[in-house]
Structure 1
Amino acid sequence: MPYREIPLSPLQREMWRAEQTTDSARENVYGALRLRGPLHMPALTEALDAVVRRHEPLRTHITGGTNPVQRIEERVFGLPVQEVSDLAEAIATVDADAAARIELDELPLWKVRLLRLAPDDHVLGYVFHHIMVDGWSLYVFMRDLSEAYALALAGKPADLPPLSFTYADYCAEESRFFEPEPLASRIEHWRRLLPGELPVLDMPSDRPRVDGAESRGAAIELSIDAGLSLAISDLAREHRCTVFNVILDAVGSATGSQAETSQVILGVPFHNRTRRQQRAMVGYTANVLPMALNDLTGRCSVASLQRARAVSTAAMRHPGIPPEVIMRTLYGEEGLPYRFCLNVQAPPGISYSFPHLELSRVPLGDNGTANFDYELRLIQDGDRIRGSLTYDADLFLPQRAESLWSDIRANLVEMTQSQHRTPA
C-alpha cells in the first residue's frame, strides 16, 4: 500500500482548526546550521533519505477536508542544493523559506535545502510546519541525520533502526485519553487550577486591538549577563526550585503590574514527552500549559516564588490537554486562555556532530509573525541566558516591548539582591 491513514492527535486537531483561519506562516519552525569542512553530498542526501524513512511525520500530510486525517506516504524527497554568493544571501534564502506558508495538504510539510557558499562551506537551512515537529524533534532530526551521515560516509548503509514507539502510536494513545471518562478527569484537574472567571491580560498598548486581525510580529534580542544568570541559578537552588520558577515569578509580577491586575494566566510550553519511548521520535507533542498566578503585588518575594513553583508543578501533572479544549470547556469561549507565552527552553540532552565538519548556528531574522501579544523565549547559553521577546507589532511599539523586558529584568535583579533570600 503506497500510504496509510491515521487520526490526528488532539493537539494536531486544534492546530489544524486554527490553521483554517489564517494564511500566515506563524506555525513555521525553522533554523540553519553552517557546515565548514569537506562535505560529502551523496552521503548527506542518503542520510536525509534515511531519516525520512525512519520518521513518519516527515512523509505525512493532512487530507480529508473537514474530517482531516494524516496520510503517511512511502517516499523520500532528496536534498536540493543551491549556490549562493555569501552568507547574507544564504540567510536571506532561509528567511524567505521561513516566511512562506506551508500548506497542510501538500507533501512534504517541510523544506530542507543546502546552500553552498564554497566547496568547503555550506549552510543547511530547514523549515518545518509545527503540526509535524516541535523543538525536541529538531534535536532528534539532527542527531539522526548526523548518525546516518557518519554511516554513509564510512561506506555503510545509512539505514537507521525502526522506532519501537512511533508518532502514529503516540497519536492513537493520546486519542484514547480523549474518550469521555479520562478526559473528564483531566478537565477536572484544570478546573481546580484555573480561576472560575477568565482573567484577560490587557497589557498597555500603543494601538487598538482589532478582533480577528492577523498579528504582525517583531522581536527584540535579549541577553542576561553571566553574573545575573549565576545569581538566578543560586536563588533557585536556595529555594529548592528551578530557574524557570524564578523567571515565571518575575514575568508574572511584571505583567501583572503593567496590566494593573493581581491575577494573570501565562502560557508555558512543555515538551510533554514524559516517557523514555517518546523521546526518540520526530513529532508534535509539545503543549502550552496555562499557568495562573494569583495575588500579584508587582513585587517578587519568597512567598510569590513558592507560589510560582507550586503552580508549575501542578500544571505539569496533566500536560496533554490542548489549551483550546480547556478554554471551550471551562469558559465556553474559543481561542486561548492567555496572551503572554513564556518559553524557557532546556535543551533535551541530545548531542550531534558530523564527521570532519565544524558546526555553528546561523543567526536568522524573525519571520514577521506573532502568535501572542508577547512571547518571551530564553535559553541557557554557556554562562549566560539569551533569547528574544516577540511582540504583536500591530499593538505595541518596540519601546513598549523594551519597557516590559526592563521590568522583568529589574524583578530578576531585585529577587537576587533581596535580603529575603533565606530558604522558605
Structure 2
Amino acid sequence: MSNTDAATAPSLANEHEEYIWMQQLQEPEQVKYQLAAWQINPQPDSAILHKSIHSLLQMHMDLNTRYEFTADGDLYKYPDADWTACVQNEQAPQGQVTELLSILAQQHWQPETTPPFLASIISTENSIILALRLHPVLAQQYTLAELIEAIQSSYTKFSGSQQRFELTPIDLSSLNPPTAQQTQDNNTAALAGIILAEFRNTLAEPNMTLDDDFFDFGGHSLLATRVIGNLQNKHGIKLNFNDFFKSPTARALATIAQQTQPVAAAVQAPPEQQAPLTLAQDFLWQAYSAFDFSPIYNLPFAIEFQQPVNEAALQQAFKDLIIRHVGLRTLFKTAQQQTLQYTVPVTELKHYQWFWPSSDSNDATLATEAAYKFDLTRELPLRIRLFKAANGHTVLSFLVHHMVIDEWSLNTIMADLNLAYAARLQGKAPAWPNSVPSIHEFARRQQQNGINQQHLDYWRSRLQGAVTGLTLNPAAPAAENTTPQVAWRQIDFDSAFHHNISAFAKAHHASIFSVFYTAIATVLQKEGNLQEIVIGTSASGRTDPNYFDTVGYFTTMVAHRIQFSPQQSFASLLADTSEQINESMTYADIPINYIQQAIGIPANQGLMFDVYIHIHTNNALNGQLSTPQGAIPYRQILPERNESMFGLHFEIMENQINNQHNLSMIITYQAHRYPTAVVERIAHEVKQLLSELAVQISAPSASQ
C-alpha cells in the first residue's frame, strides 16, 4: 500500500471523537463549530490563499474527514481527498459581514457529509475576511490559532516574500444570536441538503437539485420506502408516504420533515444454525400447510438472455448469492408443532443440487419447473435451470419458494447477480459493497420484541365491522360449474397512456398504483352496488431500514377499507384512497392473520378480502448483465397463471425497457366463482375509465 493509500484509508475514531460524536447526536444545539475571523491586510492573492489552505489540508487530512457509524458498532473516520469541500467563497457588503458570520456560527455539523474544519473567504467591497470554523470533535488536536498560523506561514512561503500578511481579529462577542426564523431557515436548508443527498444516492442521479421531483427521476413507492427508512435510520429525519406524494422535492420535504433521534444500527449477530419463523413467514407457512404444501407458493421467475451467456460463470455467481444471503440456503422443519428454519453451512452446499446447465435440461420445460413440488425439509428452496430456446437464446428458470423471498428481495438478488457475474467472468470473487444481516437474525429479534401492539390497534380501529368478501350484482350470470379453476387475461396500454396517466396521478398528488386501485374499486362498486369494500394489497413489511438489503420473506398483506359516498367524485375517492394507502405503510409489519384475529374473524373463515391489487414497478426481471465486452440484455418470460388465492387478482405491471415506459394489467380470477363474461366486463370498464382519466390530462395540450 502506498503512503497516499494509507493516508486516505478509513480508521477507527478515538475516544474523544466518539464522545463528541455521541454528544452531537444527542444534543446538536449544544455542540457547535468554534468560529474565528480575521481581516487580511493587505488584500491577499486569492490563488495563493487557496493554495495555502490546500497545503494545510494536505498536511492534516483529518481536518477533512467524515464519520460513519457502521453496522459492527464502530465509529470510523474517512479522509476525503477533495479539499474544496472545506473551502467556501462568500460575498457580502461590509455592513452585513457580522450577520453572515452569525449564520456561519450557527450551522450544524453533519458527521457523514460535512468536514469538521471549514474556511470561508469573504469578499466585501474593500476587504478580504478569512473565517475559520473548527468542530469540537478535533479540539484535542488543533486550535484555531494554530491553524491560522499555519495558513499564514504557507502564504509567506508560496508568495516568495518574507513579509507575512497582517491579521486583524474581528470581535465576535457582539454577534447576535440568530432569530428563531433564521434558525428555522438554517435547519430547513440543512435538512433539504440531507434529503437531496439521499435522493441522489437512491436514484443514482448525482445531478438532481433541491427542486427536482423524486418521481420524475424514476422514483416509486419501493424506493420511497428506502429513502424514508434511510433518513430515519441515519439522520433521525421522519417523513411519511403522503409527504412524498404531496411534496416530492427535497426542498419541499424539508419544510415538513420532523427531526428525531436516528435509529440505532442493528449489530449483526454471529450466524446461528436455527431460528424461528418471522411473523410473515409463520402466516405463509400456515397457508402453505393448508394447501397441502402444493406448488401454489412457488415463484417461477424466467428470463431470456438476448445474447450468449457464460453458464459456468452464471452458476458461480448464483452460488455467490446463496453464500451471501442465508435465506437462500435455508431448510424448514417442524417438530412439536413448531416450525424452525435452519441454515445450511456453506461447506455442505455441495451435498445439494440446485443448478442444472442447459445440457441437463432436455427433458424439462418452464412449465414442469414451475409445477415442481419442493420438500423444504430436505432441499434448498430454489432451483436454477438453463434452457436453450428455439432461437438459440439461453433461458433462465429461477424457481424459488415464497418462504424465502419477496418482490423487494428479487431486486436485491438481480443487482447482486449482476455484480457477481461480472466478477466471475474475470475469475474473481465479487467485492460486495456491504454485509447484510440475515433473515434469521431478523426473526430472532422479532420474536424477542413481540408484535407491535400500537400497530395492531391501528388496524383494529380501521377494519372492525367491515363488510368482508365481495358480492357482485345478483343479475350477473352464474358460473357454469363449481370446480376450482383459474383463468387470466392481460390488458395492455400504450406509451402515450403511461405518460398521461402519470401526469394525472402527479396532478392529484397520487401514485399510478393509487389511480389504478381507485379505478378498480370504482368499477367494482358499480358492478355490485357496494357501500364499501375491503381490498387487499402487498406491503414490503420492511419497517426496519437495517434489513433493506436482506433477502427474505417480509411481505405482508394489507387490507384497506374503501367506503363509498353518493355523488363522490373520482378525484375525491382517489384522495381518500391514496391517503389511506400511504398512511398504512407505517403499520404494515402486522401479518393479516393477527389483524383478522384481533377483529374477531375465525381462522377457518379465510381472508377478509376477495379482491387483491398490487403493482410491479421497474421489474427487475427486465434488465441487463454487465460484462467487460458490454451489457447482455434480458427480458422476463411471464408464467402461466393456474392457481390463485383470490377471487379477483389485479396485477399492474410498470416497466421501462430501452428507455420506453409501458403499462399493462393482468387479471387472474377464480372462474368457478366469477364468470369470464363478468371479468371481461370489469376489465373493459376499468380500461375505459383509466383512458378517460388520461384524456383529461392530454386534452388541454392537444387543443393548444
Task: Give your verdict on TM over 0.5.
Answer: yes
**Paired residue for 2:443?**
171
Work out which of the residue numbers 98, 102, 105 in structure 1 matches 2:374.
Answer: 102
Q: Is the 8 A contact 1:33 1:359 kept in 2?
A: no
Pairwise CA distance, 1:11: 0.7
**What is the alpha-carbon distance in structure 2 between the residues aligned to residue 61 and residue 300 of structure 1?**
51
Aligned-partner SS, 1:404:
helix
TM alignment of 1:255-274, pairs within 5 A: 255-274=524-543
Q: Distance in 2 between matches of 1:409 and 1:177?
A: 45
The amino acid across from 1:316 in the alignment is M
Output one character per residue of 1:238-262: Cα deviation in whole Å (capped at 9) or x when no partner: 1112112211211111112222212
Q: 1:221 aligned to 2:493? A: no
C-alpha distance in structure 2 between counterparts of 1:416 and 1:159, whole Å: 46
Identity %: 20
Contact map agreement 1:217 1:368 (CA 8 A) in 2: yes
Judging changes above 3 Å, is the alpha-carbon distance between structure 1 residues 28 and 205 closer, same or farther for their aligned structure 2 residues?
A: farther
- Tell me what 1:343 maps to: 614
Alignment of 1:40 onto 2:310: yes
**Displacement after TM superposition at 1:339 (Å):** 0.7
Residue deviations 1:17-52 (CA, integer Å, cap 9, x gap): 111111432211122122244432332222111111
Are the equivalent residues in 1 in contact too, given 2:538–2:557 (CA < 8 A)? yes
- Pairs within 5 Å for 1:171-250: 171-179=443-451, 182=452, 184-203=453-472, 204=476, 206-207=478-479, 215-250=484-519
Give yes or no for the alignment of 1:292 onto 2:574: no
Q: Separation in 2 of the partners of 1:160 and 1:228?
A: 39
**What one-letter code is carried by the residue in structure 1 that aligns with 2:489?**
I
Residues 299 and 411, structure 1, Cα contact 8 Å, conserved in 2: no
Separation of aligned partners in 1, 2:481 and 2:444: 39
Q: Secondary structure at the match of 1:164?
A: coil
Query: Per chain length, whose mean CA-contact separation is higher, i.e. which structure has more relative contact order (CA < 8 Å, sep 6+)?
Result: 1
Aligned to 2:582: 313
The answer on whether the counterparts of 2:471 and 2:528 sit within 8 Å (CA) in structure 1 is yes
2:408 corresponding residue in structure 1: 136
Give SS of 1:137's match. helix
Does residue 363 of the first structure (1) align with residue 637 of the second (2)? Answer: yes
1:341 and 1:374 in contact (8 A); partners too: yes
Q: Does 1:409 align with 2:687?
A: yes
The structure that has the greater radius of gyration is: 2
Deviations 1:315-356 (A, max 9, x none): 212001111211121133222121111012223889652425
Q: Distance in 2 between matches of 1:218 and 1:84?
A: 32
Using the alignment, how far apart are the partners of 1:158 and 1:372 within structure 2? 41
Distance (whole Å) between structure 1 residues aligned to residue 596 and residue 609 of structure 2? 10
CA contact (8 A) 1:250 1:300 kept: no
AA aligned to 1:412 is: L
Q: Do the aligned partners of 2:304 and 2:637 also contact (CA within 8 Å) in 1?
A: no
Counterpart secondary structure, 2:302: strand
Cα distance between partner residues in 2 of 1:375 and 1:106: 32
Deviation at residue 220 of structure 1 after TM alignment: 0.6
Q: Which moved more, 1:252-261 or 1:408-417?
A: 408-417
Alpha-carbon distance in 2 for matches of 1:298, 1:376: 26
CA distance in 1, matches of 2:635, 2:570: 38
Deviation at 1:118, TM superposition (A): 8.4
AA aligned opposite 1:219: W
Letter of the structure 2 residue corresponding to residue 318 of structure 1? Y
Give the corresponding residue for 2:652: 378
Match of 1:392 among 635, 651, 670: 670
RMSD over aligned CA atoms reads 3.1
Q: Residue 334 of structure 2 contacts residue 340 of structure 2 at CA under 8 Å; is this kept in 1?
A: yes
Q: 1:78 to 1:10 in 2, by over 3 A?
A: closer
| CA distance in 2 between partners of 1:7 and 1:392 (Å) | 34
How many angstroms does 1:177 deviate by? Answer: 4.8
Q: What SS does structure 2 have at the residue aligned with 1:26?
A: helix
The farther-off stretch of 298-307 and 23-32 is 298-307
**Residues 95, 367 of structure 1: 8 Å contact kept:** no
Residues 1:61 and 2:335 aligned together = no
In structure 1, distance between residues paired with 2:339 and 2:321:
25
| 8 A Cα contact 1:32 1:362, kept in partner | yes
C-alpha contact 1:99 1:368 (8 A) present in aligned 2: no
Structure 1 window deviating more from structure 2 (383-392 vs 2-11): it is 2-11
2:595 corresponds in structure 1 to: 326
Q: Is residue 354–residue 384 contact of structure 2 (8 Å, CA) maintained in 1?
A: no
Q: Distance in 1 between matches of 2:613 and 2:271?
A: 42
Structure 2: gaps of 5 or more residues: 1-269
Separation (CA, whole Å) in 1 of partners of 2:404 and 2:477: 34
Which amino acid in 1 is paired with 2:356? Answer: P
Moved more, 4-13 or 392-401: 392-401
What is the aligned counterpart of 1:29 among 290, 299, 303?
299
8 Å CA contact retained: 2:318, 2:417: yes
What amino acid is aligned across from residue 360 of structure 1 in structure 2?
Y
1:256 and 1:296 in contact (8 A); partners too: no
Higher helix share: 2
Alignment of 1:116-135 (within 5 A): 116-117=388-389, 121-135=393-407
1:70 matched to 2:348? The reply is no
3-state SS in 2 of match to 1:337: coil
SS in 2 for 1:331: coil
1:15 maps to which residue? 284
The alpha carbon displacement at 1:265 in A equals 0.8
Unaligned regions of 5+ residues in structure 1, if any? none
Kindly tell me: are residues 188 and 208 of structure 1, through their superposed partners in 2, closer, same or farther at Cα, counting changes over 3 Å?
Answer: farther
Higher mean C-alpha displacement, 115-124 vs 21-30? 115-124
Flag the 1:40–1:231 CA change in 2: closer, same or farther, 3 A.
closer
SS in 2 for 1:199: coil
Q: CA deviation at 1:395?
A: 1.9
Report Cα offsets for 1:214-242 as digits up to 9, x if no partner. Answer: x5322111212233322221111111121
